[in-house]
Structure 1
Amino acid sequence: MRKFSIGYRTLKTAIGTAIAIAIAQYFNLDFNTSAGVLTILCIQPTKKKSLESAYTRLVSGIVGMLYAFMFFELFGYHPLALAGMLLLYIPTIVSLKVEDGFVSSAVIILHVYSAESFSMGLVYNELALMAIGFTTGIVINMHMGDIGKELEYYRVNVEELYRKIFKEIVSYLREGDTLWDGREIIEAVQALNTAKSLAFKDVENHFLRRENNYYVYFDMREKQLEIIERVLPKVTALPVIVQEADLVADFMEDLADNVHSGNTAYHFREKLELVKKEFAQLPLPKDHQEFLAQAALYQFIEEMDRYLEIKQSFEGLKVKNARTQ
């Protein structure tokens, strides 16, 4: 059984519904509870989606009233007339790309059907219900909770997972084998997916902002993770442990201790160049197994250079208590 909780969006929905119905009752509108229904449908996860929802429902509602007027006045207020109207109405709103407003417009259409007459008073009543319901939903949804703490939590979590992964790589390079099950890779994928979704939601809550720095950051980390997943087989399947492995292990250990949101990748790319030079000074492989091991390690450091290049293109996050090098 899931833990019982009342979320912020649930609270807004409850308050908004009550306000919309109260306003509709104050103006003595018929079908006043429908204002609450329209408010519920308009309260979406983000401000942008809330505005889009109001627009599609307003357009589909107006089109619905026009169809209701034509069909019911021509063919009478009969179930067959309603069925015929819907047969044409639904494809129309789909072609207009406002099909998401079908449920709310169906409410308006059924009001007309129930009234069994079409008058300007009914039109004003339905337009007033839509205005109250949509406006209340939009206004109540303009206040969104701050998700900065959640984004920061995922940043710290992802960086810690990367440190653990790098430490495991160090163990492979120095000991040749570990009992690591790769759990951190799966956790990092899940954390990045959730974090990017959360950051994108923040973008849709700011009309003048086209991107979120955290979204760019998590996208960068996702690209790095693809490289990590690609290079893991190169170090976990070394046929023998060679001298180069210690050099790479030292580098990876240093990198693991300095995973953060700032941008000092250029510093580690310089260190990686020194590792390459040290590679060149070591003796040539004695046999085919050593040759394969050295080749795999060289490919590994080339991939890690790409890993750092991706980070170097990122400006860095300005966060409190960020670790620096």
Structure 2
Amino acid sequence: MPNWRIGYRTLKTAIGAALAIFIAQWLQLDFYVSAGIITVLCISVTKKESVRASWERIIACIIGLIYGGIIYEVLGYHPISIALLFLLFIPTAVAIGAKRGVVTSVVIMLHLYTVEGVTVEVLLNELMLIFIGVGVALVMNMYMPSNEKDLTWKQVKLEDCFRQIWMEFASYLQHGDNSWNGKEIADAAAIIEEGKGMALKNVDNHFLRNDDYFYHYYKMREKQFAVIKSILPFISTLDKTVVQGEKIASFMEELSQAVSPGNTSAYFLVRLNELRNELKDMDLPQTREEFEVRSSLFYILHELEEYLLTKKKFKPDPKRTRTVSGKRLNRDHEQRDTN
């Protein structure tokens, strides 16, 4: 049986619709139930999305009232007038970027058709319904639960995946161990996609500050993850019989221990440059196999540099870096207690 639960958005929709209808009925407006319908349509998943949707509906409804008033009064209150009204109004709403207000506007325009008259009182009644419905929705949408805790935990899990991937790469180069099933590759891809989506919602839930740290973080990890995937097939061309493969393995092992929200890329770029210089000082390859190995080494070093440069461009948030480190320590303590 599927999980049955009442989410915060469902709760806001129910309360908002009831409140809008109560206000409109208390003001003795005609078609007061429509205020609740407008509120339901304006409840959105983020604050900024709610404002955009509400603005579109207000504009669309005002245009609908103008079109409806003119067409009904000129052509009369006949079904053909409704057909012509929709033919003109819908393309106009789409053209001005208010297509989300089409459904709301249709309700308002049909009110005019129902009362068969366009008077000041009727227009004021419809405008009041619009502003009550939209206003209540905006008030209800002022509360949005923070997802920063979930984003932080995903950050911890993603870095655990990266850490394990580098350790597995190093293990293969050092011991030729090919028992790894690549689970962390799939896990990292899923976490990055989920994290980016959640981070975008987090940005859209702040009006006064551009809190895009998590979005930039997951975009940075996405670029690094692309580097990891590009390295994977070349790792298999190296083995522990290659001295340089052993050095790269040590580098990757050290790199795995430094995966964190902080930025230690400068140190590793220096270490990487030292590895590159060692490679350049090697004797020229004598066989095809040696040439292929040397090519793989150069490619891996190049991709590692891209990985580190991507992190170098990222500006960590000291406050969040401490938070993530604390969560990782707490998780490690919990794991030791259960072992």
Same fold by TM-score greater than 0.5:
yes
Mapped to 2, the partners of 1:281 and 1:66 lie a distance apart of 80
Mapped to 2, the partners of 1:92 and 1:125 lie a distance apart of 24
Mapped to 1, the partners of 2:238 and 2:268 lie a distance apart of 24
> 1:12: how far off?
1.0
Taking structure 1 as reference, are residues 57 and 322 closer, same or farther at Cα in structure 2, changes over 3 Å only? closer
- TM (norm. structure 2) is 0.90
For 1:134, the equivalent position in structure 2 comes to 134
Mapped to 2, the partners of 1:281 and 1:120 lie a distance apart of 88
Mapped to 2, the partners of 1:322 and 1:65 lie a distance apart of 53
CA contact (8 A) 2:239 2:245 kept: no
For 2:217, the equivalent position in structure 1 comes to 217
For 2:194, the equivalent position in structure 1 comes to 194
**Residues 276-318 of structure 1 deviation map (CA, whole Å, 9 limit, x = unaligned):** 3443555654532123113212220221012111111212133
Mapped to 2, the partners of 1:239 and 1:54 lie a distance apart of 61
> 1:22: how far off?
0.8
Q: Counterparts in 2 of 1:1-325, with a 5 A limit?
A: 1-176=1-176, 178-238=178-238, 241-280=241-280, 285=285, 287-318=287-318, 319=320, 320-323=322-325
Mapped to 2, the partners of 1:77 and 1:322 lie a distance apart of 64
Greater Cα offset, 27-36 or 172-181: 172-181
CA contact (8 A) 1:234 1:300 kept: yes
Mapped to 2, the partners of 1:323 and 1:267 lie a distance apart of 20
Q: Secondary structure at the match of 1:31?
A: coil
Mapped to 1, the partners of 2:272 and 2:214 lie a distance apart of 27
- TM (norm. structure 1) is 0.93
Taking structure 1 as reference, are residues 259 and 240 closer, same or farther at Cα in structure 2, changes over 3 Å only? closer
Q: Which amino acid aligns with 2:120?
A: M
Gaps of 5+ in 2: 327-339
CA contact (8 A) 1:47 1:205 kept: yes
CA contact (8 A) 2:158 2:191 kept: yes
Mapped to 2, the partners of 1:125 and 1:77 lie a distance apart of 19
> 1:182: how far off?
2.9
Taking structure 1 as reference, are residues 322 and 31 closer, same or farther at Cα in structure 2, changes over 3 Å only? closer
> 1:252: how far off?
0.5
CA contact (8 A) 1:176 1:241 kept: no
> 1:323: how far off?
4.4
> 1:122: how far off?
1.0
**Residues 8-66 of structure 1 deviation map (CA, whole Å, 9 limit, x = unaligned):** 11111111111111111110111111111101111111111111111111111111111
CA contact (8 A) 1:240 1:290 kept: no
**Residues 197-218 of structure 1 deviation map (CA, whole Å, 9 limit, x = unaligned):** 1111111111233451111111
> 1:238: how far off?
3.5
CA contact (8 A) 1:265 1:309 kept: yes
**Residues 103-136 of structure 1 deviation map (CA, whole Å, 9 limit, x = unaligned):** 0001101111111222211111110001100000
Taking structure 1 as reference, are residues 92 and 255 closer, same or farther at Cα in structure 2, changes over 3 Å only? same
CA contact (8 A) 1:162 1:259 kept: yes
Q: Which amino acid aligns with 2:11?
A: L
| Same amino acid, percent of matched pairs | 39
CA contact (8 A) 1:262 1:322 kept: no
Please report the RMSD computed on the Cα atoms of aligned residues, expressed in angstroms: 1.9
Taking structure 1 as reference, are residues 272 and 53 closer, same or farther at Cα in structure 2, changes over 3 Å only? same
Q: Secondary structure at the match of 1:260?
A: coil
**Residues 231-277 of structure 1 deviation map (CA, whole Å, 9 limit, x = unaligned):** 11111234884111111111101111221000111111122223234
Q: Secondary structure at the match of 1:263?
A: coil
